Amino acid sequence: MLSSPRLLGLLCLLTAPVAPGAAQGWIEPIRPLPAFPRGAIAKVRSAVQVTLTGRAARVTVEEWFRNSGPVLDEGNYLYPLAGEAVFSDFSLWQGDRELKGEPMDASQARAIYEEIVRRKRDPALIELAGHGLLRARVFPIAPGETRKITLRYTQLLDRVGDAWRFRYGAGSGPGIAASQSLRLQVDSAGRFGEPYSPTHRVQVTRDADRLEITLADTSARGDLELFLPLARGLVGMSLVASQSAGENGYFMLLLAPGRASEAQAVRRDLVAVLDVSGSMSGDKLDQAKAALEQLLGTLRAGDRFRVIAFSGGVERYAAGWTEVSGETVRAAQAWVRRLETGGGTNVAGALAEAIAAPPAEGAFGVVVFLTDGVPTVGETDPERLADQAERGRGSFRVFAFGIGYDVNTYLLDRLTERARGVTTYIQPGGDIEQAVGSLAAKVSSPVLTDVALAADGVDLYDLQPQRLPDLFAGDELVVFGRYRGAVNGERSLTVTGRRNGREERFTTAARFDGEPSGVGYLQQLWAARKAGALSREIRLHGPNPEIVDELKRLALRYGILTEYTSYLVQEPSVAVRPIPLTAPGPQDQAGADAVRRSEAARKMANSFNLEAVVAAGAAAADSIVVPERGRVSRSQHVGGRVFAWRDAVWTDIAHGDSVRVVSVAAFSDAYFALLRALPELLQPATLEPAVLVAGHQVSVKIETGGKTTWEDGELERLVRDFRG
């Protein structure tokens, strides 16, 4: 049995109580014995099989329940169905016996849920009220017996721009033997690009014209949201938005470029720069030379190239640009094979030579820079080196490869941050050729450069990443952002960019009036991306007071824990102390720790890395224990906020002592009305025995005492003040 009275009803949910959502089925006892007031039947396993044909997803859910009590038990099986599910096509079986089901709409479901919540004192169940409900009587389950229930229904996928969206209420519950699996099979796989889930990590397998998607982690928690981008020519767009009343909204945009074969060839001007200093001798140089040969081999007729090698000095394959042909590429590859190591590391000279000849008008200019060390010859100050390179870079994109741990991460990251590129760090013994080969495949098919985003009648702002990266064929991009004003109905969403010197425009219809409770992960992902960008800005440019304050406000509001803000959860007085940041020192710019910090900041900040753009995981659900001066401070990350245990109350660390507090009695009429008016309180309301949630002009405390009813207009005023 579960220990927390507010969570006893969650026998079947698949998300942790700090992140409840729509649930899988559970069994509600019909006549619980006094000694077992909440029944002893609990779910022990769940398996979901989905077959997608066109827009219709045929869903089969198998759930296993075990009676751990001492007596025969039975109950009502309750299963929330999403609004797009087709009720007329369900069947419910327990073994070879059919259970007669009774489908209900959301209003009927709400009444049932609230009655269960009042009786069980379980606030998390109120989350389910937005769904329809299937209810069926289950046959008695003997003590110690495990029975399986099979449910089948058809769900129509909704269209989101140029993608289909599949949603499944994965549910949750502590005390469950959390064994669950989900497998989605798609026919006509050629119709879709790469599937993406912002809530779970998934594995994708393609076999001929079949596509199979499974959960990468069978212990993952939370409702599943999955996007299947449609193959729509050069660029497909899918937007999901969420806006609470009185607040600016959040959105997620998925850009899915077409396949490389569909993209018209873009002229490229490539500059390859190789460090041949003494430290590169041996296997590192052999791999790097092979990587450059491979890179040159990806060039096509119409492209141009330059090859530069540097140690204490700088040498070049040719004085200017070389036109691509079979003969010129072979000659350049032979020149690369003859390179030998020796001398210091003249980064300044190499960078100056790399950008000395600008790319042609309309060409895609790329600098690929490989080094394994820090500057030792000429200008060695990373700040001045980066500034000089930025002033002369022009329209070049810069991609850097740091080989080993002795590289100056600060310099390489500064070189690429404004150049719409990225730095890749290759650990000692890593495969340089494979890393450069991946980049070569990527830049071989640029779809759009200088990408910009606009929406008709909607003010989009605070995009993450702020400067959108270039789009490459087959390389999906995820952008998070905010938007202003209440927006109803469909609006025109446009992405612009340049190809071969010409502007290209791609437009789709998008809705910005999404429900806040349906896509709650948007706030979390946007805030995490912005926190990563601010942390990276501080690491690269020093602790600007305005940026530090912005990071503190973001951390307090959304519960983002970074190396700069994690201590904020320790004590009420700690949050007012200034963040002890210093400008990056030379001793912190190289080494294994510097490489780790750089990669972590890039992953957190850059939304085009799909692996980093997932809301689910330990950071979203687990309790955090922060040691301080020999003591342990308890905190929990719930609903995009951090709560610290203070005086027997889970207190939002964003709450200020000067802010007015309104107390509401749990499970009262006022409580249910409050959760309907402020759905962002649903997840914090699961914290016991009391929780204090910070708002803009008023904070809300849910406890055993407090208001039980609202006077006319009082709740509406509270909502306005809470949201500011």
For the domain that residue 149 is a member of, what is the CATH number?
A: 2.60.40.1730
Which residue has 């710019």 as its token pair?
589
Which CATH number is 290's domain given?
Answer: 3.40.50.410
- Residues 63 and 192 grouped into a single domain: yes
Does the pLDDT at position 225 exceed 80?
yes
- Residues 99 and 180 grouped into a single domain: yes
- Residues 353 and 394 grouped into a single domain: yes
- Residues 296 and 412 grouped into a single domain: yes
Lowest mean pLDDT among 62-71, 149-158, 217-226, 311-320: 217-226
Instruction: Report the relative pairing of strands 314-316 and 268-275 from DSSP bridges.
Output: unpaired
**Cβ contact 226:198 at 8 Å:** no
* pLDDT at 649 (0 to 100): 92
The mean per-residue pLDDT over the stretch 642-661 comes to 87
Alpha carbons 81 and 92: distance in angstroms, whole number: 13
Alpha carbons 280 and 311: distance in angstroms, whole number: 10
**CA within 13 Å, CB half, 355:** 20
Looking at the 3D structure of the chain, how many domains does it have? 5
- Residues 662 and 547 grouped into a single domain: no
Is residue 359 domain-resident?
Answer: yes
Is residue 539 domain-resident?
Answer: yes
Give 24's pLDDT tier (boundaries 50, 70, 90).
low
Structure tokens at 318: 């040719």
Structure tokens at 461: 């702002």
Rounded to whole angstroms, the maximal C-alpha distance in the chain is 90
Is residue 331 domain-resident?
Answer: yes
Which three-class secondary structure state does DSSP give residue 437? Answer: helix
Which residue has 């951090």 as its token pair?
642
The residue that leads in pLDDT, 660 or 531, is: 660
User: 175: burial class by Cβ within 10 Å (0-12, 13-18, 19+)?
Assistant: middle
- Residues 53 and 151 grouped into a single domain: yes
* Average pLDDT of every residue of the chain: 75
- List of residues 6+ apart from 45 with CB closer than 8 A: 63, 64, 177, 179, 180
C-alpha distances in Å from residue 504, one per residue of 151, 232, 474, 547: 48, 15, 18, 35
* pLDDT at 611 (0 to 100): 44
Q: Which of 617, 639, 655 is the last residue of a domain?
A: 617
Is residue 642 domain-resident?
Answer: no
Lowest mean pLDDT among 53-67, 338-352, 562-576: 562-576
- List of residues 6+ apart from 347 with CB closer than 8 A: 310, 371, 375, 377, 378, 379, 380, 385, 411
Structure tokens at 595: 């490489």
Q: Please tell me which of 92-96, 165-169, 210-214, 245-249 the model is most confident about, judged by mean pLDDT.
A: 210-214
- Residues 214 and 246 grouped into a single domain: no
Which residues does residue 546 pair with via DSSP β-bridges, in sequence order?
none
Structure tokens at 238: 């899918």
Q: What is the CA radius of gyration of the chain?
A: 29
Report DSSP letters for 607-669, one per residue: TT-GGG----SHHHHSEEEEEETTEEEEEEEETTEEEEEETTEEEETT--TTSEEEEEETTSH
**Cβ contact 475:441 at 8 Å:** no
Is residue 478 domain-resident?
Answer: yes
The residue that leads in pLDDT, 96 or 602, is: 96
- Residues 25 and 150 grouped into a single domain: yes
Q: Which of 453, 485, 511 is the last residue of a domain?
A: 511
- Residues 245 and 283 grouped into a single domain: no
The residue that leads in pLDDT, 65 or 597, is: 65
- Residues 258 and 274 grouped into a single domain: no
Is residue 129 domain-resident?
Answer: yes
Which residue has 């259970």 as its token pair?
99
Alpha carbons 568 and 559: distance in angstroms, whole number: 10
Alpha carbons 195 and 177: distance in angstroms, whole number: 29
Q: Please tell me which of 37-41, 573-577, 644-648 the model is most confident about, judged by mean pLDDT.
A: 644-648
Alpha carbons 323 and 303: distance in angstroms, whole number: 6
Q: How many CB atoms lie within 10 A of CB 215?
A: 21
* pLDDT at 701 (0 to 100): 95
Give 578's pLDDT tier (boundaries 50, 70, 90).
very low
Instruction: Report the relative pairing of strands 235-242 and 249-257 from DSSP bridges.
Output: antiparallel
Domain span at residue 393? 268-444
Structure tokens at 298: 């990806």
Is residue 450 domain-resident?
Answer: no
Instruction: Report the relative pairing of strands 26-29 and 56-67 from DSSP bridges.
Output: unpaired
C-alpha distances in Å from residue 689, one per residue of 123, 647, 667: 12, 11, 13
C-alpha distances in Å from residue 70, one per residue of 36, 40, 66, 67, 145: 10, 9, 12, 8, 11
Backbone angles phi, psi at 516, to 5 degrees: -65, -35
Percent of the chain with pLDDT over 70: 73
Among 173, 135, 176, 172, smallest CA distance to 28 is for 135
- Residues 247 and 361 grouped into a single domain: no
Alpha carbons 447 and 432: distance in angstroms, whole number: 26
Does the pLDDT at position 173 exceed 80?
no
Q: What is the dihedral of CA 109, 111, 116, 122, to 10 degrees?
A: 90
- Residues 197 and 123 grouped into a single domain: yes
Is residue 90 domain-resident?
Answer: yes
- List of residues 6+ apart from 386 with CB closer than 8 A: 411, 414, 415
Give 592's pLDDT tier (boundaries 50, 70, 90).
low
Does the pLDDT at position 4 exceed 50?
no
Which residue has 């020149």 as its token pair?
335
- List of residues 6+ apart from 240 with CB closer than 8 A: 160, 165, 251, 252, 514, 519, 522
